[in-house]
Chain A
Amino acid sequence: MSSQDGQAVPPKALTGLGGFLDDRFRGARGVRTFFKKIFPDHWTFLLGEIALYSFIILLLTGTFLALFFKPSMTDVIYHGTYTRLDGVRMSEAYASTLNISFDVRGGLLMRQIHHWAADLFMAAIFAHMLRIFFTGAYRKPRDVNWLIGIVLLTLGMLEGLFGYSLPDDLLSGTGLRILEGVILGIPIVGTYLSFFLFGGQFPGNDIIPRLYVIHVLLIPGLILGLIAAHLFIMFHQKHTQMPGKGRTEKNVVGAPMYPYFMAKTGAFFFFVFGVLALLSTVAQINPIWLYGPYNPVSISAGSQPDFYMGFLEGTLRISPSWTWDLAGHTVAWNVLFPALVPLGLLLTGAALWPFIERWATGDYAEHNVNDRPRNAPTRTAIGVAAVAFYSIMLLEGANDLIADHLDIPLYTITWIARFAVFLGPALAYFLTKRICLGLQRKDRDLLEHGLETGIIRQMPDGEFVEIHRPVSEEKRAVLLSKKEPVALPAPGAADENDIPAPATRGLAGKLRATANRVITESVPLTGGNGHGNGHGNGHGGSHGDEAERAAVGAPHSPVADGDVAAPGTVARDNGQQSGDAGS
């Protein structure tokens, strides 16, 4: 697809208006640049847009809710439409949420859209982040935007936590109680901070109005500003693209903003809105009237936070009850550690990863073409390990529901999770890396031998061979997009005079050399034991015969020897490959 279609002449009415505006604001050049902006077509590039559009819907529905919500903890006796809570003492915040749900026209629908949009916003951020990670789209020059994304994720979690705390129902109060516990767990200043935040003893009368201001003003403002920065940086640096035919580090292949992408992204907004409206009309979310008003003496079984905080719930539930008594002060490791360390590891690790990878690979170049996940086995394996770690904690956060519904004793689940949290990521890392390397081998075979056609031909001398068909041009370009990692000198490697390479000296040098060994593990696209006649593969170790490698795989030696050429297809294969490599 090319960008020439972008030159289509707009309707006359538009040119008139455009001329009027351009005469006054001189915007035509900027708008032209914007209209000609190229967007690569790939479905994963729309994951971030789900988050963007969910956020817009959150702002709109949130404004509606703010018109009717009363962020006040003043005690009232409820005598409203929902008769099952008639005569119950509750806060004004909870009463007004009941009012929104049962008396305000469209109020319950707005509440549900708002809540589903929040869940979708966070889910889309996670999905978007995983796509960026696994394709290596965070690499230079986009590492700064990656960091902004991590801040956005963190802000989204806080915004959600404060949002579902506002209705002051039994579930939200339970969440705030845990928040109070975590704050109290901070050594030395914890009690002071807690009293400062809650305006006295928990729950006090101040927390809802305070969270309200943070929820509707401070964090949305920050998120809005950071989203703007995120988008402008993306716009300025241009999109990454998936590898393919004609896609290089210097170009972007896709459709222009006007008219193609504008139509697509506009349609996608309505898809997001439509899915949220669908969910909100058929699926009940957060039925606060069932939970009843918050009361510090009450708690319900099966209390869970929204899914994006479920990880923290899991770390808290898994944590052994360790406390220290230091000079009359309690250090509550059982709360402090699960609240801060695992999530801190994940987020800090994610933030540092682009820089760790750069240090370990020595690859300081700019990257605009994405990696296929299999072509960066170590990165992919670390990502899957992190996902496993996160998922195990998320499941552990629902351990009582799992116990109840699957008839497994509660503590059994907790103990399984305590081991799985260490073993699961390790197993995920190992398996993923092996799978990635296996897929690399498959790619190499495809490139060297082509696709099996299932046609067996008997040669004049009686030999049977299977005909292989070379892969398509597009597929070949994708396969060839793999960049072989450059290995740094091995740890302890010495030259002929027994002098170790400077880069591997010292602790940092050794560490870097070891990390480099791990991260550059790869099955080269060319080489291996490719026999020209298509049999004898399947033991794709690196023990292949050098002469055959040169003949079949290496693009710089297109000469195939005679017996290889016999079945026909593979020789052509070689010719094309060398041709590509030359271009």
Chain B
Amino acid sequence: MALIKAVGLGKTYGSTRAVNDLSFEVHPGSVTGFLGPNGSGKSTTMRLMLGLDRGDGATTYDGRTFAELDHPMRHVGALLEAKPFHPTRHARNHLRMLAAANRIADSRVDQVMEMVGLATVAKGKPKKFSLGMGQRLGIAAALLGDPDTLILDEPSNGLDPQGIQWLRSLLKHLAGEGRSVFVSSHLLQEMAVLADELVVIGRGKMLANGAVSDFISHSGLGTVEVRTPDGATLAPAIEALGATIVRDGDSLVVSGATAEQIGEAAHSVGARLHQLATRDATLEEAFLEATGLSEEFRGSTGDLA
């Protein structure tokens, strides 16, 4: 079981600091999601972790850098981009080639082809593969050495809903076996149910690092819905807590105060409560809040007419 420890990762392209002093850990037995807007430096960070890009800092896997690992695919499985294979080399041969460099038996090649659902096209040419099939082949390559660490860059790209569900189950299962899984994705809903911890970056800088639940709760975007016939009495007491209120019919939607605080306030002013319901922020809301000022590429709806 490998602890991934990234310390001071940095990368500069010309005058642009693409990754700036990133340090984090990925723990065995967990799925750590890697989030950030487009161009925030996620892929560059992953390449730095694997020694593919030259930059600052170091990443160790149980104390050893990637370059120091003997037969690295047996320790770290990586998927970095879609379709990284020769278009006419059979899928199985692509894996055999990687296996040969890591002393992995051909029987394992067949095993992972079966695992990712490509056994029937093992002798197919990747140039005829869909993006999803290409991703599956990339995932097969990452799993080839039965590694205790996985680094996957957007593995769900191109997968259909069944494929995404399969991938989620697979990664959960692998983490459940005690492996370290570090995965980037733009599918925030998917990440919300998959990840145990998060590393969130924007413009190459660390924005948040920790448990998913902490990231969401620290966003301050959770609300409490209060239904009361005594809104006029209760509202000032809630505002006295420093919370903000949005009126919605006979309900008050409160931000910045917990249900417990509101209940206490209602009791103190003698207001009747018909409903007191908390609503947590979604990962998407928390992510957008955290990265709002860190978007590298911002679009607009413009004048579509």
Q: Is the pairing of A and B real? A: no
B residues with a Cβ closer than 8 A to A are none
A residues with a Cβ closer than 8 A to B are none
